[in-house]
Each structure stands twice: as structure tokens, then as C-alpha cells.
């Protein structure tokens, strides 16, 4: 980060190792929640967020910041982008002053307030930086109340932030919160939540059915696209489009494309209201595509009546094949094909790391 680099020129070349450097972080657990909640702020300005923790974490070491090992909560208008590990330049400077980190290791893109991926309109604090919450059972039992009265209407992803430099962690609450005002009909626009994609190992040409949670006016339209999961800007390929006749659930049939065996695919869904307001969501889970014999090579690519159906929250995925599916050994490769996290410079559309789940 340029400004911090100037401030740190006089520091010694080596950093002190904080006593908590290799300790596991205690993150908030949001449990099972509905994939989409509509909250009318006119009826209640506060939206309650419940969470729990595995155990307390308050034993600070002498070389830690005095407010380390705390939780903070945020709401994001745009989900499924990687989140920077730092919130503000002030936080980074405090860590530099304690020699917990150094300026060359922190760029503007590593700081939420400075990142080009996140504008001030994309996110808001539920708890302020100077009111980070202690990681105690008593505090977790109270939860946290989000004052939505000044929040712009629309869909939000709630995330918890474990402040314990230098390894600060994000944990997302699965499901979105749609903030509405009953005095402003449809003032909030459409909202989508993918949930989990189940049956993640598929074959070229398979039929794949995904059901997503949606809050949209009848008459809205949707557009489904897919992209190969790879570093750099994604190349989206249009797939399905259609009209939405329900306000709560949308089911789309997606045919796994040929030509990309051994690659992981990600899906993007856009919903546009009759007034022209658009909300997009990108699947946080990947579809791992295996090769299969295409119809042009003599394969029939037909499915029979035996279908594997899995259900998880608001997402239902069904994949059908005319054989017994992939060999068992392929399951061993999934952790390598679908990484838990990516290198620090991930594409801006990439899913949040798994520790955010």
C-alpha cells in the first residue's frame, strides 16, 4: 500500500512473530438459515443476526494489539467476490507499528476501504471498527442487531470478520437478506441466491437442474451463463434465458457443455425486473466436468429413469446419466480440482474462500 510503504521505511527488515501467529482463529457460526429473508425495515428497523462460537478466545499475548481477537459484522451488496484481509489503512498501520506485518506485504487491494473491487456503495459496517465484539460465549448468545433504517434497499450478504492480525478471516452467512420498505412497492429490486450446487461431479452433455431462491416480480426475466474457473477475467457463455412466473423459486435446466473435460465450471444468473433493475449472482460452488462420449462420436448421451437427486437448503440439483457415474477414484481428485482457497490475486468474480462458508 503506497502510503503505508512511506511510513514504514525506517523499520527493521525483520518482523516479530506474534504469539498468535499459528493459532486457529475462532470464527462466528451462523448455522442453518433460510436462503432468502425479506425484512421490512418499516416494521422493525433492526434485523437480528444470531451466531455461535466453538469456544471463547480472549487470551491475548503481549505482542498482539489490545483489541485483537474480536468479531465484526458487515453487509455486502455484491456477493461472491474475494474479500480483502484488512478493513482500513488505520488497521494496517497499527499492525505495522506493532511489527505484526510490514508495508510491502499489504497493497491497496488488500484493504477493503481502498480496494478497486469494492466501492463504498458495495458494503456497509453492521458494527463499527471501534466496537468490535469480544469472542465470548456471552456475547455470541446475544447475537448482533443490524440497524437497517439507513441502509439502501436491496439484497445483502452478511459476513463476519475475525480481527486477529495478521491472519484476519472472513466468514459468510449463507443466504441473503432482502431489505424492503413496505411504503415503497418493489423499491428493492430483484434478488437471487444460488445456495449449494450439489452433485458437483458431472459429465459433458449431462442435464443438470438447479433450483435457486429468487425474489422477483412475475414478468421478470433471467439469463444463465457459465464460465471456466480460471485466473483472470471470466469469459461468460450464454446458456438459458426465460421468463419468471414465481416470486420465490426458479428452476433451470442446464446442459453441461462439451469441449472442456477436466475443467471446473461456475454459473452466473442474472434476473431483470420489468422496470429494468438487474441483480446477478454467481455460484460459489463449482461443477467438475468429466469427459464423456459425445453423440457425434457414437454416444447416445441419453438418460434413464434412475436419477440422483440431492437437496440442500434452497438449492436442488439433479443430474442424470445412462451409467453408474464416475469411478470412485475421481472423488479423491475433487480437493485438487475445487481448491479450498485461491492465490491472493484471485479474479474479482471468484467465490469467497471456503472458510467463509
CA atoms within 13 A on the CB side of 80: 22
Phi, psi of 225 (to 5 degrees): -140, 165
CA distance from start to end of the chain: 28
Q: How far apart are CA 222 and CA 144, in angstroms?
A: 34
Please state the domain extents for the chain: 2-180, 191-351
Q: Residue 346: exposed, middle, or buried by beta-carbon count in 10 A (0-12, 13-18, 19+)?
A: middle
> Judging by DSSP bridges, how do beta strands 315-320 and 207-215 pair with one another?
antiparallel
Q: How far apart are CA 334 and CA 284, in angstroms?
A: 15
Q: Distance from CA of residue 20 to its chain's centroid? A: 26
Q: Which CATH architecture has domain 191-351?
A: Sandwich (2.60)
Q: DSSP for 12-78?
A: -SS----TTTTSPP---B--S--SEEEEETTT-SEEEE--B-SS-B----TTS-TT-SEEEEEEESS
CB 98 within 8 A of CB 123: no
CB 73 within 8 A of CB 45: no
pTM here? Answer: 0.74
Q: How far apart are CA 171 and CA 2, in angstroms?
A: 28
pLDDT in tens, the chain (357 residues): 544 443 333 333 344 445 566 688 999 999 999 989 999 999 999 999 999 999 999 999 888 999 999 999 999 986 567 899 999 999 999 999 999 998 888 999 999 999 998 999 999 999 999 999 999 999 999 999 999 999 999 999 999 999 999 999 999 998 899 999 999 877 788 888 887 787 678 899 888 888 888 888 888 999 999 999 888 778 999 998 999 887 677 888 888 889 888 899 999 999 998 889 888 888 888 889 999 765 555 444 443 333 322 334 444 333 344 333 444 444 444 444 433 333 333 333 333 332 233
Q: How far apart are CA 40 and CA 179, in angstroms?
A: 6
**278 C-beta neighbours (distance < 10 Å), count:** 13
CA atoms within 13 A on the CB side of 317: 22
Q: How far apart are CA 252 and CA 209, in angstroms?
A: 6
Q: Residue 134: exposed, middle, or buried by beta-carbon count in 10 A (0-12, 13-18, 19+)?
A: middle
List the one residue out of 117, 280, 311, 285 whose CA is nearest residue 201. Answer: 285
Q: How far apart are CA 53 and CA 55, in angstroms?
A: 6
Query: So what's the pLDDT on residue 326?
Result: 44
Q: How far apart are CA 207 and CA 14, in angstroms?
A: 55
Helices of type H across the chain: 2-7, 89-97, 137-142, 334-337
List the one residue out of 2, 6, 27, 17 whose CA is nearest residue 354. Answer: 27
What grid cell was written down for 8?
Answer: 514504514
Residue count of the chain: 357
Q: How far apart are CA 102 and CA 4, in angstroms?
A: 9
Exposed e or buried b for every residue in 33-44, given b needs 16+ CB within 10 A? bebbbebebeee
Amino acid at each position: 500500500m503506497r502510503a503505508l510503504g512511506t511510513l514504514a521505511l525506517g523499520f527493521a527488515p525483520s518482523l516479530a512473530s506474534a504469539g498468535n501467529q499459528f493459532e486457529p482463529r475462532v470464527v462466528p457460526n451462523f448455522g442453518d438459515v433460510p436462503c432468502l429473508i425479506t425484512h421490512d425495515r418499516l416494521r422493525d428497523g433492526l434485523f437480528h443476526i444470531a451466531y455461535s462460537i466453538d469456544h471463547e478466545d480472549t487470551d491475548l499475548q503481549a505482542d498482539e494489539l489490545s483489541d485483537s481477537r474480536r468479531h465484526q459484522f458487515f453487509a455486502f451488496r455484491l456477493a461472491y467476490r474475494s474479500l480483502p484481509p484488512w478493513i482500513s489503512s488505520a488497521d494496517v498501520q497499527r499492525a505495522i507499528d506493532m511489527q505484526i506485518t510490514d508495508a510491502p506485504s499489504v497493497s491497496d487491494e488488500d484493504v477493503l476501504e481502498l480496494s478497486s473491487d469494492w466501492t463504498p456503495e458495495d458494503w456497509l459496517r453492521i458494527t463499527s471498527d471501534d466496537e468490535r465484539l469480544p469472542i465470548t460465549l456471552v456475547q455470541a448468545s446475544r447475537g448482533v442487531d443490524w440497524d437497517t433504517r439507513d441502509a439502501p434497499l436491496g439484497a445483502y450478504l452478511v459476513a463476519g470478520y475475525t480481527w486477529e492480525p495478521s491472519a484476519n478471516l472472513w466468514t459468510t452467512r449463507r443466504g441473503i437478506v432482502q431489505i424492503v420498505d413496505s411504503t415503497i412497492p418493489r423499491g428493492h429490486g430483484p434478488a437471487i441466491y444460488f445456495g449449494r450446487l450439489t452433485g458437483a461431479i458431472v459429465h459433458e452433455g449431462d442435464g443438470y437442474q438447479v433450483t435457486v431462491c429468487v425474489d422477483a416480480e412475475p414478468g421478470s426475466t433471467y439469463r444463465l451463463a457459465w464460465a471456466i474457473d480460471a485466473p483472470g477475467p471470466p469469459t461468460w457463455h450464454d446458456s438459458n434465458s426465460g421468463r419468471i412466473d414465481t416470486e420465490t423459486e426458479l428452476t433451470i435446466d442446464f446442459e453441461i457443455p462439451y469441449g472442456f473435460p477436466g475443467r471446473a465450471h461456475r454459473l452466473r444468473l442474472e434476473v431483470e425486473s420489468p422496470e429494468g433493475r438487474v441483480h446477478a449472482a454467481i455460484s460459489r460452488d463449482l461443477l467438475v466436468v468429466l469427459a464423456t462420449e459425445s453423440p457425434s462420436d457414437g454416444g447416445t448421451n441419453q438418460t434413464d429413469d434412475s436419477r440422483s437427486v440431492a437437496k440442500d437448503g434452497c438449492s436442488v440439483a439433479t443430474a442424470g446419466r445412462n451409467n453408474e457415474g464416475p469411478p470412485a477414484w475421481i472423488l479423491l481428485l475433487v480437493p485438487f480440482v475445487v481448491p479450498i482457497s485461491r492465490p491472493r490475486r484471485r479474479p474479482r468474480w471468484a467465490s469467497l474462500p471456503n472458510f467463509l462458508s
